[in-house]
Amino acid sequence: MSKKILFYNGEIITADKNDTVCEALLIEDNKIIYAGSINKAKCLAKGEAEEIDLCGSAVLPGFIDCHIHMAVAEAKSETQVGVTQKDGVNTIADLLEKLGNVAKTKKIGEWIVGSGYNHELLAENRHITADELDNAVPDNPVMLVHVSGHLSICNSKAFALAKDSGLQLPSEHTIKTTDGKLTGLVKETAHFMMLKNSPILPSDEALVAGIQGFTQKLLKKGITSVHDAGGYGEATFRTLQKAKQSGALGCRTYTMLWTLFGKDAQKENAKTMISSGFHTGFGDNMLKKGPLKIMVDGSAVGGTCATSTLIVGSNKLFPTTFEQKELDEIFITAHKAGFQLTAHAAGDKAIDMVLNSYEKAMSMYPRHNPRHRIEHCFLCTEEQIKRIKALGIIPIPNPGFLSVWGGVFEKYYGDREECLIPLKSFEKMGVMTPFGSDAMVIDEYSPLFGIAAAMERRDHSTGAVISPDQSINLMRAIKCYTAFGAYASFEEDIKGSLECGKLADLVVLSDSIVGKTPDEIRKLRVCATYLGGRKV
């Protein structure tokens, strides 16, 4: 027997093309069958529905986080230890003490991998050095992975193991003192090479358990669908499938096909994915193969993204990971094979390279509406937005970054502030911008936090507002976390808005949302999350 649920006496934010707000929503089993007036909803319910009086609260489509490292966020290997403020690390002395205590529990030569390291939040506001790590932990290899995921600090034991393994770290990514001594800091390609040489990969069991644990946290935030941005390559793909089969996968997942283990690993992953014969769209409403992803440059917050002009305080341009010819070869081949494409591209130089490759691929092998993407698209010029519009590209910005790292961005890119996450410019140009949180890079991954950030663009540490003319309004921000996200995965016909025939993925908030300030929006709670009509 079918089950009907009637939500009434509240704000039904449909996120449809007209931004309709109505007074009632009726679902039957896993689908929406009506959104509109209370009288018609009750007539259609025929007295058979469970009735939920919203008492003025808002109902929204289930949130879609379009860039999140969901499958690796919660899983840790036995070597990993947290080194964040939540772990009691506020100073370099705290960090050294913690690492020293961990070393006492390890055998000589066993690895210690610190996760969540962020020098910006240390009282000294500087990177720890290899010498300091060597003094605190002389007998164990140590690697502190920066929260951005694009750089790390290593001690002498870790470098020695890399050398013994035959690794030749690129000099431009291995930071040394003026007299040629290793500082401990490695960035981008060197960082990923060191990462691959460390025992960071968790077991399949730990990954499945992590997926189960983190998706439950996401559901509590109202997130019913994620676009997983990848991580451990084939281990991620394998364990997502295991999680789905065992019932541990709590959110609908559209997975990006990517590995974090460096340039060569990305090339091999692309080759394997293309030759498999299975391309974007393979799967079902719970787990689906998404775009082939390539990381083209570094981190905006780490100051390692590829820009056309010098970053403030820097005396050199940071290089892209791939040359244009290499990127063309991968993307043209993958586009021809039927893949949606995406690229981590934060700096404007990297964005140009990606657009060049997409344009070549689409010109050589025309395909209807491939919806290629750019993850982050952080420092984006007006001219690039015009190209994005003309090519039908989907940028995936992360507005929550502005609230967490706005001050860092001002330090690096203050002379180009109008290009930082230019949400209003995208809107004026008619470009959809689905939002992603980029958790695990960021701790605060609530869509309500991201919506508020997009509306006010205020750094919560300094109070500075970053390019206020790039703010967007509430309804646009909601669509960025709902309808636009569905479009980015070719699923706008089945989810993303509260319309008849679509999946009953929805969120009930603690109060109304229309007319609320960003501060008030952040204080709203998710009271209930429904996935396919089932309260989860």
Is the pLDDT score of 202 beyond 90? no
Q: Distance (Å, rounded) from C-alpha 37 to C-alpha 52?
A: 15
CA proximity to 453, closest of 431, 481, 425, 427: 481
CA proximity to 521, closest of 458, 467, 466, 465: 458
Residue range 54-64: mean pLDDT, rounded: 98
Q: Provide the pLDDT for residue 98.
A: 93
Work out the number of other CB atoms within 10 angstroms of the CB of residue 109: 10
Contact between 500 and 34 (Cβ < 8 Å) = yes
pLDDT band of 1, cuts 50, 70, 90: low
Residue range 2-8: mean pLDDT, rounded: 95
What does pLDDT average to over the chain? 94
DSSP character at residue 318: P
Q: Provide the pLDDT for residue 170.
A: 83
Q: Provide the pLDDT for residue 302.
A: 84
User: What sign results for the dihedral spanned by CA atoms 505, 509, 512, 518?
Assistant: negative
pLDDT band of 347, cuts 50, 70, 90: very high
DSSP state letters, 377-436: --B--HHHHHHHHHHT-EEE--THHHHHHHHHHHHHHGGGGGGBS-HHHHHHTT------
Q: Provide the pLDDT for residue 48.
A: 93
Q: Where are the alpha helices (DSSP H) in 14-121?
A: 38-45, 70-73, 92-104
Is the pLDDT score of 505 beyond 90? yes
Residue range 90-98: mean pLDDT, rounded: 94
Contact between 526 and 220 (Cβ < 8 Å) = yes
pLDDT band of 427, cuts 50, 70, 90: very high
Is the pLDDT score of 275 beyond 80? yes
Q: Provide the pLDDT for residue 72.
A: 86
Q: Provide the pLDDT for residue 443.
A: 84
Residue range 507-512: mean pLDDT, rounded: 98
| Beta-carbon contacts of residue 372 (< 8 Å; ≥ 6 apart) | 291, 335, 340, 341, 342, 358, 362, 391, 392, 393, 394
Question: Computed over its alpha carbons, how large is the radius of gyration of the chain?
Answer: 23
Full-prediction pTM beyond 0.75?
Answer: yes
Residue with tokens 């997926």: 211
Work out the number of other CB atoms within 10 angstroms of the CB of residue 310: 12
What is the token pair recorded at 264? 């060569």
Choice among 123-137, 168-182, 324-338 with the minimum mean pLDDT: 168-182
Q: Distance (Å, rounded) from C-alpha 3 to C-alpha 249?
A: 24
Q: Distance (Å, rounded) from C-alpha 502 to C-alpha 34?
A: 10
Is the pLDDT score of 303 beyond 90? no
Is the pLDDT score of 510 beyond 90? yes
| Beta-carbon contacts of residue 120 (< 8 Å; ≥ 6 apart) | 405, 408
What is the token pair recorded at 251? 């959110």
Work out the number of other CB atoms within 10 angstroms of the CB of residue 279: 17
Is the pLDDT score of 181 beyond 80? yes
DSSP character at residue 203: P
Contact between 477 and 437 (Cβ < 8 Å) = no
| Beta-carbon contacts of residue 492 (< 8 Å; ≥ 6 apart) | 483, 486
Contact between 438 and 383 (Cβ < 8 Å) = no
| Beta-carbon contacts of residue 216 (< 8 Å; ≥ 6 apart) | 250
- How many CA atoms does the CB half-sphere of 478 hold within 13 Å? 27
